[in-house]
Each structure stands twice: as structure tokens, then as C-alpha cells.
């Protein structure tokens, strides 16, 4: 279902793009409350020394004074913009789809309402890299933590990473963090769907479907975003503040990893040959079980307690996690995933947290570096649908 942006009651304020052609970027910001953080984020956008862009903000029925304050902040900047206020709450995914539908630029640059653009040259530097890569359909950039300046290097090098189902399977986890992702606007429109509203991971579906359908994925070794801006030493409430000091309980704890699997499988697997679909599902679930899942077991041991991590393990029990893939998942692939689950669960519940804290960033970077650098020495195989 497409979302219409031609509802006059939604458009609160705007400043039209004055150029003859469409802007190169639309910076899209799906917004819900936390107005003071959004003001700081917008300042980082206004400071850009590159001017071939517009801003689209969609306020998802915020309960604060965003609608009264933010339009005037945008107007004073002189940057072309559109500020929409939704008459009913769309949820994260629906609001993201709305901003994509409202965008007018060649590309959309995704930005959270609590994540700032890194420096004044960022959008200009990124545009140069996108042209260098012959304008890929999807691009990933790096991001840093606002407080610590530690950089997460989604992109280890500036280069094309490939296209097709194999590339989408290999890199789907690179799209879990929203800010700093770049989409070709027309490709995003072609693959729009409301199937994953309320999943909180629509950008993963969109990126994987575009790439699996033949769109090129580009990596840009540029730190484009500083995540989790702070005001008065405080961030927007997140999982760490929500579950800090949680009482001991072994009840199942849902983290959304199953949703990541669902959107990635739907983005990629239908475009694979039937004979390769089981392997594709196994590759996607296997990455979650070997990388993402043990990370969150250890992280919630730190943030909450050991019983909370056990609750996550219960929620990820393979009999439940894999039930919806029963008809497409072969017995051998199912057995391998059970083994990965058991090994990762033991490691995540037993490994000392001090060891985890010491090596977590290095291991994550090493995995990304191995994937991206290895592409230099071998071709990306598209014929069998999955990259080994």
C-alpha cells in the first residue's frame, strides 16, 4: 500500500527547492517526540557546506511541542524543506515510508531524530564518493558514538560490493542501523510495501530487496553520522536505560532479532532459485545466531542481568524461530542452525563479560573487513544466489 503525500492537512510548512533540477539528496528524518534532540540534529544539517539537498521531516503525531517549534527552526535556516505532521500515528516503518514517498531528491539520506551529521563537509564528500562509484542503488557509510567517538566501520573501503541475492545475504546486517544509509529514491519507490510496518526494520527489507533485484551496493568509507546525541549528558531513552537494573526473571525476552530475520528473508529469498532458498534462509539465520545473538546475550548480561539473557535464549529457541520456514528449510540446514544456536547460547551465557568488552569492536571490524576486502581477490558469484 502506497502512502499518499498529497494530503494538504499533513504539510505544515515548507520552503520550495529553487533549483531547475531535483536536488541530489533529500535528508529524510522520521520524527517522534524528543524535539530538543531534533533541533540539535537539524543544526548539523544546516551547517553543511554543500547545498544540493532538501530536508523532509515527518512528525508522527508527537505528544510534545515539535509541531509548534520545529517548522520555525526550519524556516529560519533558509534550507529547502517540508515539514509534515501526521494526523494519526503511522509507527516507525510507516513514517519512514512516508518520508521516502515525500522525498524529491536523486538520493535519500536517512537520519534519525537523535543522530547528527558528523561534519560540515559530510554531504559533499559523500556525493563525490557516490559519483565515484557510478551512483549505486544503496550505499552504507560509517557512524560514530556521540560520547566516545568510537567508529563503527560498516564500510571498510570505498568500493562497489556487488548486487544480487548473494550480496544482499552477505551484507543485510549492515542495514540494521538506520542513520547514514543512502537509497536511490526511485528504487525505494519501486519496492515499497506495507508488509513490514511495525517490524521496526523496514530499511533492511528495502535495502535487501533493491540489491537482490539487481541494484548495486556501494560502501563509502566515510564517518557520516554521530549517533545518540546528548543533551545535558542524557540520550534519548534506549534499551540500556529501559532495562538497566531489571529484576531477575527467566521469562522469554523479545529483542526483535526474529524480525530482522523475517524482513531479510522476505527481501532476498523469493528472488532466489527454489533449489537455493533453504541455503539462503540458513545463511541469514546463521549470521544472526553466530554474530548478532551472542552479542545481545552478553550485552544484556551487562545492562540487565544473567537471567535476562536466559530469557533472550528462550525467545530464540529454534523450534519456534524456524517454524515459519519449515516448508523451505531442508533437514541438514535446520540441523546446522540448531547446532549454531546451542554453541552460541553456551558462549553467550558463559563467556566472561570482561573478555567480551575487550574484543567486541575488534571482532566486528575483523568480520566486516574480511567480507569487504575479500571481494578484491575473487568475483562475486551471482549464479547460485548465495555468496559462500
Are residues 205 and 259 located together in one domain of the fold?
no
Residue 206 included in any domain: yes
pLDDT of residue 3: 63
What pLDDT digit, counting tens, does each position of 317-373 carry? Answer: 999 999 999 999 999 999 999 999 999 999 999 988 777 666 655 666 666 666 676
Are residues 206 and 64 located together in one domain of the fold?
yes
Domain count, the chain: 2
The domain containing residue 66 runs over which residues? 11-227
Number of helices and strands in the chain (H, E): 15, 11
Are residues 36 and 141 located together in one domain of the fold?
yes
Are residues 136 and 30 located together in one domain of the fold?
yes
What pLDDT digit, counting tens, does each position of 131-146 carry? Answer: 999 999 999 999 999 9
pLDDT of residue 379: 41
Do residues 203 and 172 touch, judged by C-beta distance below 8 A?
no
State the pLDDT confidence band at 152, using cuts at 50, 70 and 90.
Answer: very high
Are residues 363 and 216 located together in one domain of the fold?
no
pLDDT of residue 19: 80
pLDDT of residue 20: 77
187 CA to centre of own chain? 17
Are residues 40 and 173 located together in one domain of the fold?
yes
Domain end call among 159, 192, 227: 227
Q: Mean pLDDT throughout 25-46?
A: 97
DSSP bridge pairs for 28: 56, 110
CATH number of the domain that residue 163 is part of: 3.90.550.10
Q: What is the enclosing helix (H) or strand (E) of 364?
A: helix 353-373
Domain end call among 227, 248, 277: 227
pLDDT at position 386 over 80: no
Distance, CA of 331 to CA of 217 (rounded, Å): 32
Q: Mean pLDDT throughout 164-184?
A: 97
Are residues 26 and 118 located together in one domain of the fold?
yes
Candidate from 15-24, 87-96, 356-365 with smallest mean pLDDT = 356-365
What pLDDT digit, counting tens, does each position of 227-271 carry? Answer: 999 999 999 999 988 999 899 999 999 999 999 999 999 999 999
Q: Mean pLDDT throughout 29-39?
A: 97
Grid coordinates of 299: 550485552
Express as a percent the part of the chain with pLDDT over 70.
89
293: closest CA among 249, 349, 353, 368? Answer: 349
Amino acid at each position: 500500500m502506497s502512502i499518499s503525500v498529497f494530503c494538504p492537512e499533513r504539510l505544515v510548512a515548507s520552503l520550495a527547492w529553487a533549483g531547475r533540477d531535483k536536488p541530489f539528496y533529500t535528508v529524510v528524518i522520521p520524527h517522534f517526540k524528543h524535539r530538543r534532540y531534533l533541533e540539535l540534529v537539524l543544526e548539523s544539517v544546516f551547517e553543511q557546506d554543500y547545498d544540493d539537498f532538501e530536508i523532509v521531516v515527518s512528525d508522527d503525531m508527537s505528544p510534545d511541542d515539535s509541531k509548534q517549534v520545529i517548522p520555525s527552526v526550519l524556516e529560519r535556516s533558509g534550507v529547502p524543506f517540508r515539514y509534515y505532521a501526521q494526523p494519526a500515528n503511522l509507527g516507525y516503518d510507516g513514517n519512514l515510508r512516508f518520508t521516502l514517498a515525500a522525498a524529491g531528491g536523486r538520493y535519500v539520506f536517512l537520519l534519525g531524530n537523535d543522530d547528527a551529521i558528523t561534519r560540515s563537509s559530510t554531504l559533499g564528500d559523500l556525493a563525490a564518493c557516490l559519483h565515484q562509484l557510478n551512483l549505486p542503488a544503496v550505499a552504507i557509510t560509517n557512524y560514530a558514538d556521540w560520547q566516545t567517538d568510537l567508529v563503527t566501520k560498516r564500510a571498510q573501503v570505498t568500493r562497489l560490493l556487488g548486487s544480487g541475492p548473494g550480496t544482499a545475504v552477505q551484507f543485510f546486517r549492515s542495514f540494521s542501523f538506520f542513520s547514514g544509509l543512502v537509497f536511490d529514491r526511485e528504487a525505494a519507490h519501486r519496492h515499497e510495501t506495507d508488509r513490514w510496518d511495525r517490524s521496526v526494520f523496514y530499511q533492511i527489507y528495502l535495502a535487501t530487496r533493491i540489491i537482490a533485484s539487481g541494484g548495486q551496493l556501494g560502501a563509502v568509507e566515510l564517518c557520516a553520522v554521530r549517533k545518540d546525541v546528548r543533551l545535558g549528558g542524557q540520550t534519548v531513552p534506549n534499551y540500556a536505560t529501559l532495562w538497566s537494573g531489571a529484576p531477575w526473571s527467566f521469562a522469554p525476552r523479545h529483542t526483535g532479532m526474529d524480525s530482522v530475520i523475517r524482513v531479510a528473508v522476505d527481501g532476498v529469498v523469493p528472488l532466489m532459485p527454489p533449489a537455493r532458498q533453504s541455503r539462503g534462509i540458513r545463511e541469514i539465520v546463521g549470521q544472526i545466531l553466530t554474530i548478532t545473538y551472542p552479542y545481545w546475550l552478553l550485552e544484556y548480561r551487562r545492562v540487565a542481568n544473567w537471567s535476562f539473557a536466559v530469557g533472550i535464549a528462550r525467545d530464540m529457541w529454534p523450534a519456534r524461530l524456524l517454524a515459519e520456514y519449515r516448508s523451505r528449510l531442508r533437514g541438514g540446514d535446520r540441523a546446522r542452525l540448531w547446532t549454531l544456536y546451542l554453541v552460541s547460547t553456551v558462549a553467550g551465557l558463559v563467556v566472561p563479560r570482561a573478555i567480551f568488552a575487550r574484543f567486541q569492536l575488534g571482532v566486528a571490524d575483523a568480520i566486516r573487513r574480511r567480507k569487504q576486502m575479500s571481494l578484491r581477490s575473487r568475483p562475486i558469484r551471482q549464479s547460485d544466489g548465495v555468496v559462500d
